[in-house]
Amino acid sequence: MPIPWSGQAAPFGFSPEGASATPWLPQPADWGERGVEAQTGDETSMLELYRTALRLRREHPALGDGTLTWLDAPAGVLAFSREPGFVCVVNLSAEPYPLPGHTSTLLSSGPVEDGLLAPDQAAWSSV
């Protein structure tokens, strides 16, 4: 489904003002809070997470061409590194997972407290 653009009611910016045609994709009534207009500037929103990820992908030298190295991790945790100095960890387990030695968290899908990545979260770190 497309991301809604603006407004608090369908068609959420997909049709011109005053249009009478029904949008070709159904749009749930609660989508207003998920729209670009509502999420812009909210650092906890999915839109800003993606914008930050795209910016980092352009800026970080490890996120271009190259190979990755899988890191040892317990069941339910995916971890890999790329040179120079990048680590990605995805915690699909039920327990918090300590991020490998890193200097800073570049991006995370939720708070990283005391170096622990909560269940069902992902983080990009520099090493």
Flag whether 17 is in a domain. no
In 1-127 the beta strands, taken as DSSP E runs, fall at 69-70, 77-82, 86-91, 97-98, 104-108, 112-113, 116-117, 121-126
Query: What's the domain count of the chain?
Result: 1
Flag whether 114 is in a domain. yes
Residue 115's CATH number? 2.60.40.1180
99: containing domain: 62-126
Flag whether 84 is in a domain. yes
pLDDT at 105: 93
Per-residue pLDDT of the chain (127 residues; tens, 9 = 90+): 566 767 777 667 777 777 777 777 777 777 777 778 778 888 888 889 999 999 999 999 999 888 999 999 999 999 999 999 999 999 999 999 999 887 799 999 999 999 999 999 999 999 8
Flag whether 7 is in a domain. no
Flag whether 3 is in a domain. no
Q: How far is CA 20 from CA 10, 17, 106, in A?
A: 11, 9, 45
